[in-house]
Structure 1
Amino acid sequence: MQIDAHQHYWDPARDDYGWLTPELTTLYRTFGPADLAPLRARAGVQRTVVVQAAPTVEETRYLLDLARGEASIAGVVGWVPMLQHDAPALITELARDVKFKGVRPMLQDLPDDHWIANPALAPAVAALIEHDLAFDALIFTRHVSALETFATRFPDLRIVIDHGAKPPIRDGSAGLQEWADGITRLARLPHVHCKLSGLATEAAPGWTEATLRPYVDHLLQSFGPARLMWGSDWPVLNLNGDYLLWHSVTNTLLAALSDQEREAIFGANATAFYRL
């Protein structure tokens, strides 16, 4: 079974996304399961993990409501206010929904790059571990040290880095080594995984297989096929690509792997990581 480990559904009328403004004409409309279904069918992707796009509990509940009536949604990664005193109780409540699989605090948008290193996160993390939930880390290279501190502090928490830590692909060689070194450091921690997603969005328009190969190769070398999982980041992907192209290019970039290794990246790893 192929699983898209990272995609989004949203409705701008809900008005809690912040970043999703009318100026983003490609994205500023409702995206739901019916929009993705034909693309999934052509790519052979049966199920998906839907990831939060707004820092509100209300959006998390919206996604869980959507998931209850949609068999293709295997799991939901939501948002909780992890530093609030009631975060553990909220996590416990949400965990009663079988499709609630983890949380994501949208680290890239927080004003403090070291927020994730705050020891006060411990009660919320303890609740995640207690309920066998995962943690999605939406980071850039500048967050690596803080995430390393966090991951080292909580070795029992399953952590996945979204979008390969968003390498500076459009900048060419500028920043490449710093990103690569950061990935190497994080990959040394065995409970840290990584999503093969979001790379097209970080590239300049007109990207090709050759554009992305150095980044995919480094992620593969660092994490290995057992700790990588494919995701589309659809519909954000539509800003600089499309679902079928990204799926096809990823297949080409992973062509040297065995069938079993490709099957792991395109589904089995996500199943195990998110407990789908």
Structure 2
Amino acid sequence: MCGAVGAAYRHAMSDTVVDAHLHVWKPDAVHYPWLAGQHTPLARPFLLPDVTPDLDQQGVHRVVLVQSADNRADCELLLLQALSSPRVAGVVAWVPLTSTPDAAALLDAWRREPVVGVTHRVQDEADPQWLLRPDVHDGLRLLAERGLTFDVPAHTPQLLRQVVELADRHPDLTIVVGHLGMPPLATLRAGEHRDWERWSSLIGDVAAAPHVVAKLTGLPQAAGPGWDAAHLRPAVERALTAFGPSRLMLGSDWPTSLLGADSYATAWSALVGTLDEVGSDGRAAVLGGTADRVYGLVRATSAL
């Protein structure tokens, strides 16, 4: 299927709104080991047509699809969804980073596809040091050589610390921290500040590397039941201080966001509302400009 997706794409302007983190999945065709337990309500197909009316309503022009399983079948599903809609401006896929020849072969096969980055469900690995393994680093060098990002779901303080080391080892690799490192908003709401202060310090350490950016995603889930936009603001304000708007992008995390919000619109509008105090240039960056630059979305779409 390589090469087919690009033909369906139209040129996209950099001033449009981008949902930089949206999932699709199809459990009857792809294996998702994590779709159990608290995620069981999401164990059904969620595809791009299901969210298109919400994207239209919220004024979201383009999306970046992000993988949901560490397997080839999930990548194929994402690329098929991209083929079906010019709204998909990029795909963050999966490759076997611990197998350099296989990873290189996939990346080279996708050179005409809208793959703009690679990620891995690091949080699901049994090895807590997986991110720092030598064979993983060999794989990450492939991404840097090809100008692709590495998106890290750094959901724990330990993983955030490892991102600091990763950034030091790979100065030529753009690293994207997903879900803002899962700020402990729920405990902050409960009046407990120790976890918050630790997260805030780690985010500062991560942001010290200029080639690390972050996504404002997953915050409604992190805030816990009964959240409102005000509960999200501390994390957004800290992120703006640490990274600045030019290194932040907004993503819905749909449909995972439905675990913390009753609809796409609820989560997206609340996140957008946290940017009310940001100037027009900064707001434009978070709502699309950063994603365009970091993922090379305009370049990826217009070059095909």
TM interval, shorter chain, is: over 0.9
Residue 158 of structure 2 corresponds to residue 137 of structure 1: no
Distance apart, 1:221 and its partner CA? 0.6
Of 259, 263, 275, the match for 1:254: 275
Q: Give the distance between the partners of 1:57 and 1:119, measured in 2 at CA.
A: 23
Contact 2:249–2:291 (Cα < 8 Å) also in 1:
yes
Of 69, 73, 80, the match for 1:54: 69
Aligned residues: 276
Q: Give the distance between the partners of 1:143 and 1:235, measured in 2 at CA.
A: 24
Of 224, 233, 239, the match for 1:204: 224
Corresponding position of 1:214: 234
Q: Give the distance between the partners of 2:69 and 2:228, measured in 1 at CA.
A: 31
Of 91, 101, 107, the match for 1:86: 101
Residue 200 of structure 2 corresponds to residue 180 of structure 1: yes
Distance 1:123 1:87, change over 3 A: farther
Query: C-alpha deviations, 1:177-197, integer Å up to 9, x for none?
Result: 111111000000000000011
Distance 1:47 1:237, change over 3 A: same
Q: CA-atom RMSD, angstroms? A: 1.6
Query: C-alpha deviations, 1:207-248, integer Å up to 9, x for none?
Result: 012211111111111000110000000000001113212222
Q: Give the distance between the partners of 1:213 and 1:112, measured in 2 at CA.
A: 34
Q: Give the distance between the partners of 2:229 and 2:243, measured in 1 at CA.
A: 20
* Residue segments in structure 1 that go unaligned for 5+ positions in a row: none
Contact 2:19–2:62 (Cα < 8 Å) also in 1:
yes
Secondary structure in 2 aligned to 1:234?
A: coil
Distance 1:87 1:148, change over 3 A: farther
Contact 2:96–2:103 (Cα < 8 Å) also in 1:
no
Normalising by structure 2, we get a TM-score of 0.86
What letter is aligned with 1:36? V
Q: Give the distance between the partners of 1:182 and 1:24, measured in 2 at CA.
A: 28
Corresponding position of 1:36: 51
Secondary structure in 1 aligned to 2:63?
A: strand
Of 27, 44, 63, the match for 2:42: 27
Corresponding position of 2:249: 229
Distance apart, 1:85 and its partner CA? 3.7
Q: Give the distance between the partners of 2:44 and 2:218, measured in 1 at CA.
A: 20
Distance apart, 1:97 and its partner CA? 3.1
Distance apart, 1:112 and its partner CA? 2.2
Q: Give the distance between the partners of 1:259 and 1:154, measured in 2 at CA.
A: 33
Secondary structure in 2 aligned to 1:164?
A: helix
Contact 1:200–1:246 (Cα < 8 Å) also in 2:
yes
Secondary structure in 2 aligned to 1:13?
A: coil
Residue 123 of structure 2 corresponds to residue 123 of structure 1: no
* Residue segments in structure 2 that go unaligned for 5+ positions in a row: 1-15, 298-304
Normalising by structure 1, we get a TM-score of 0.95
